[in-house]
Structure 1
Amino acid sequence: MKRIAVFLPLALAAALQTGSAMAFTDKPVKLIVPAPPGGTIDVFARIISDQLALEIKQPVIVENRPGAGGALAIKYMLSQPADGNTLLVTVTNILTEVPHVLKGGFDPMKDVRPASQMARSLQVFIASPQFPAKDAKEAIAYVKAHPGQVSFASYSQGTTSQYAGVILNQKAGLDMQHVPFPGSAPALAQVMGNQIPLMFDGSVTSKPLIASGKVKLLAVSYKNRWAEFPNVPTMAELGYPEVDFSNWSGVFASAKTPQPLMEKIHATMQKINASQAVQARYQATGFEPIRQERSLEQLSTDLRAEFDRNGEIVKTYGIKLN
């Protein structure tokens, strides 16, 4: 069942009657989230929704439509008029990872266009508190000593949460078993409860659990160390440079959206992204703000490059649905 939340601060109510130079619409806007509440994408959408409402002087509705690897949300957005009133808010994995192994009935490179690149989440290697390893090196040794007995969770089939485990299996000679879930929240619940001991997850959803001791941070699956935990090494430092993943979060629209309207949406989202209050919320939740503005054309090029890289990973490592 979908969950809908309306973000309309009291301070906004009086302003709704007035226009805005930044407004790309004079109607309420729906931000469609292809994931359940509580995950990385949902957190991101709720950070930007209030500020967007203030900018366009209209109510902004965050609508969760999880399922089918993000396809339900994307197909819903594509079924709506391409007028800027229904936008997709997502992390790029929904468009650049999942479609390689799960066909959703749309072409992610032709049917959807990025309107704004706003923040980045990096990937981390985590374990349940009871898992008998304090870091990634010990975790790999333990899994190697117990072939076929250790599982790792992912937040969906066909995502880098799965890719990372598959790559580590092959590069380190392991036999971890993959257990996919429909989002980070249900997967993390199993890790916290020690039903599934390991997971590659996004920094946003893992950060509060690491801080509270509900999961253990073993390593950072990104090219750079995580500023929040500078003493934790990267997988590359441990000898696995292929386990290097991050996604950027942003706003996307139907490819049928007229170019002048896309430019207006882009300008509005970039203004929101430049807000110090929004950037502070990014950092507080584990996102890395993206401060360098990219044109619409550059965004499409970035998305294609990420899509192609993941396609090569799927082909090289033989990643398939369980």
Structure 2
Amino acid sequence: MQRRPFLLHGLSALGAGLGLAAGAAHAQGSAWPQRGLRIIAAGAAGGSADIVARLLADQLGKQTGRTVIVEPKPGAAGVLAVNELSLAPRDGHALLVGVNSLVSEIPHIVRLKLDMAAEIRPLAELACGGLVMVANPALPARTLAELVAYARANPGKLNFASYTAGTLSHVMGLQLNQAAGIDLTHVGYKGSTPALQDLMGGHVPLMFDGMATSIPLIRAGRIRAFAVSTPKRSPLLPEVPTFTELGYPRLEATAWMGLWVKPELPAPVQAQIRDAALKAIAQPALRDRLGEIGFEAGQPRTPEQLGASLKADYERVGAVLRSIGFQPE
């Protein structure tokens, strides 16, 4: 597609955003915030982005003494939320909370008219978590090794669900096929909820899902966990091994919820916003609440580090999807 070079250009520019607008800082003033704040959540009300945005809003309100309003913006895989931020003034009073897939995955899935990586810049990682491979309890396998053996003995007979075709939950199944020499068939859904319903109903035996939505069902015994994609065992599922532990390091992956801004925002304002977000993440009450909903608190990676990880993830996901001839909608 002709847009891809522009997207890659946007990704390479993520790390440079802090310096681009430094000269404009004095003209616009670097005091932040000067009025109430608005956080756009890239997702539906009650979804993960909305919940994390409200936790952040509570802390920012306490820090700044300003009113902080959260506006959920679902639709078009986060594109509508990004567009909403792009229309806001570049003064740092409109922020975005959304997952890293806005830049690393969505451009591979949806035919876009805008360059996501050029429209938004990550300032802070608010929350993180991996994916977990889960199954219907009726599946005759208790471990990943048993599952691989079963799949090899029954080629083409096992399906796996993803919450959306082209996302990490799809890519991880393809990577397991390649690494283990098996033939799981993909079934794409429009969201975790319908996929999990079919998983529990026995209509699809396997799924790669986010921990936040699967953990309550795992703890209730309604689905079984095989492995997690995080580099180390998750404190949320300490009894579940990592894919790396089990001999599949290529399936190591972490999803994260970030705080994003307009890239042209003056550098001093970006620094102030980032500092406020890091202080918010450090609050025990916020960290505890993140754990309750299936997330760990984000790591203090710099915007440059976040930009580099986005570029690497974008290229990795693209390579896997191209290997199966995947085409965006």
TM range (shorter): 0.7 to 0.9
Aligned mate of 2:278, from 264, 270, 273: 270
Judging by fraction of residues, say which structure has more helix.
2
1:42 paired to 2:42: no
Distance 1:297 1:175, change over 3 A: closer
Deviation at 1:321, TM superposition (A): 4.7
Deviation at 1:266, TM superposition (A): 1.0
1:106 paired to 2:114: yes
In structure 1, the residue matched to 2:87 is 79
CA distance in 1, matches of 2:58, 2:276: 13
Please show how residues 198-277 of structure 1 align to structure 2 within 5 Å: 198-277=206-285
Q: Which has the higher relative contact order, 1 or 2, with Cα contacts under 8 A spaced 6 or more apart?
A: 2
Deviation at 1:125, TM superposition (A): 0.5
Deviation at 1:319, TM superposition (A): 4.4
CA distance in 2, matches of 1:189, 1:37: 20
Deviation at 1:273, TM superposition (A): 1.1
In structure 2, the residue matched to 1:303 is 310
Is the 8 Å Cα contact of residues 122 and 222 (structure 1) preserved in structure 2? yes
Deviation at 1:23, TM superposition (A): 8.1
Distance 1:54 1:185, change over 3 A: farther
Is the 8 Å Cα contact of residues 161 and 195 (structure 2) preserved in structure 1? yes
In structure 2, the residue matched to 1:3 is none
May I ask how many residue pairs the two structures share in their alignment? Answer: 300
Deviation at 1:217, TM superposition (A): 0.8
1:186 paired to 2:194: yes
Note the residue ranges of structure 1 that are not aligned, 5 or more in a row. 1-21
1:136 paired to 2:139: no
CA distance in 2, matches of 1:183, 1:64: 17
TM-score, structure 2 length as denominator? 0.80
CA distance in 2, matches of 1:28, 1:187: 39
Residues 37-94 of structure 1, C-alpha deviation per residue, up to 9 Å, x if partnerless?
A: 4544334223323222222333333333233222122122212222323221112122
Residues 199-230 of structure 1, C-alpha deviation per residue, up to 9 Å, x if partnerless?
A: 11122222222111222111112332223333
Deviation at 1:113, TM superposition (A): 0.7
Which amino acid in structure 1 is aligned with residue 182 of structure 2? L
Distance 1:192 1:39, change over 3 A: farther
